[in-house]
Structure 1
Amino acid sequence: MRLFVAVVPPIEVVEDLSEFAEPRREYPDEDIRWAADEHWHITLAFLGDVPDWKTDELGERLETAAKRQKPFELQLTGAGAFPGVPDARVLYAGVRDDTESLKHLAMTTRSAASRSGVEVDGRKFTPHVTLARLRRQLDVTRWVRVFDTYAGPVWTAESVQLIESRLGEGPGHSAAYATVGEWDFLG
């Protein structure tokens, strides 16, 4: 299974961002593939292909990490691009986390995965929600300027999810996501 660990915004946060993004998504550009609202999440750890037999221990360790975490406030605000604005492949909404709890949670979930014998993608953690993927590198200065004006509602993150990504199964052959496990923050 292709797995990742994430914090998923509540429906009212997703709807608010979707309402802001909708007129922009209607702009015709064959190089931009907008992410579906139901796919919006903040990835803490990308695990790639994980054998089924490792998922039980992984789940137990993620549950332990979640039990130690206190709920915390987040806000989707601002924008950016990977690898950079002038040569973007991904356009994203930023995340405000005044307590740096997401950074800590990313470290503990990555550690939980490693202790379970699961290899974790080693990229630096940058909290974000992917808005669009680009078919080729583009300068997205104007898109970042537009989305940089967005400030969504503040919400309380209360759980972490282990999500399976099945490539090429969704509409237009995008990935389809399924939650494998979810654990509440009880710290």
Structure 2
Amino acid sequence: MRAFVAVELPEDVVTAVEDFLEPRREGVASRREWRWTRREHLHLTLAFLPDLEEWREEELVEEGQRYAARHRPLDLRLAGAGAFPSPGSARVLWAGVDEGEPGTLATWAAGLRAVASHAGVRVDGTRFTPHVTLARAVGRPHPAGHLLQALDTLHTPSWRVDDLALVASHLGQGPRGTPRYEVRHRWTVGAAGTPA
């Protein structure tokens, strides 16, 4: 199955993102250059697992929980924006992430990718940049400087990450041919009752 390990956004943060994006989406909707991320798809990917074999899932779940238990919860908020691969030729528009402890998400991403590899799961991904995908270009890449100026003012409430999710992505099974996400497991970050 196609899957990923992610930090999920709480409902108040999703609502803040949606409220912020609504007038900005309307400003570019007529050009049909961007496909905006559905609210239920907003998340922060730490490890992408393009072909998680079901028989390896149990070991991944066990090792993932041990990994998560060794770390402390983390405070995050979304702030600012960027584009991949560049603002002048963008395929993806994204919201930036402010970490209470800079570098922690990169450490988590590297650790979870190692956990998956150790469990025999193939991991895809390049250099990790903490982000939440807001939109993808339709067709070819598009210049996005004007949009990034508007998106760069995004700031959401902060939230505490005290669990991580292993999510299956069922391509084409959601509304209008989008993926359908299924949380397969949640890993608790830190031991119960441990202060952050």
Whether TM-score is above 0.5 comes out as yes
TM value normalised by structure 1: 0.97
Match of 1:63 among 65, 70, 86: 65
Runs of 4+ in 1 over 4 A off after TM superposition: none
What is the alpha-carbon distance in structure 1 between the residues aligned to residue 32 and residue 180 of structure 2? 21
Match of 2:34 among 32, 35, 41: 32
Match of 1:132 among 111, 131, 135: 135
CA RMSD of aligned residues (A): 1.0
Aligned to 1:171: 175
Per-residue Cα deviation, 1:57-89 (whole angstroms, up to 9, x for no partner): 011111111111100110100000111111111
What is the alpha-carbon distance in structure 2 between the residues aligned to residue 39 and residue 122 of structure 1? 19
- Structure 1 residue 10 and structure 2 residue 14: aligned? no
Match of 1:117 among 115, 120, 124: 120
Amino acid at match of 1:163: V
Aligned to 1:79: 81
Structure 2, unaligned runs of 5 or more = 192-196
TM value normalised by structure 2: 0.92
- Structure 1 residue 145 and structure 2 residue 145: aligned? no
What is the alpha-carbon distance in structure 2 between the residues aligned to residue 85 and residue 139 of structure 1? 6
What is the alpha-carbon distance in structure 1 between the residues aligned to residue 129 and residue 12 of structure 2? 23
Aligned to 2:111: 108
Helix, strand or coil at the partner of 2:123: coil
Aligned residues: 187
Per-residue Cα deviation, 1:74-124 (whole angstroms, up to 9, x for no partner): 010000011111111110001011412211111111111010011111311
Maintained 8 Å contact 2:9/2:43: yes
Amino acid at match of 1:162: L
The share of aligned pairs that are identical, in percent, is: 43
What is the alpha-carbon distance in structure 1 between the residues aligned to residue 154 and residue 73 of structure 2? 24
Q: 1:168 offset after TM fit, Å?
A: 1.1
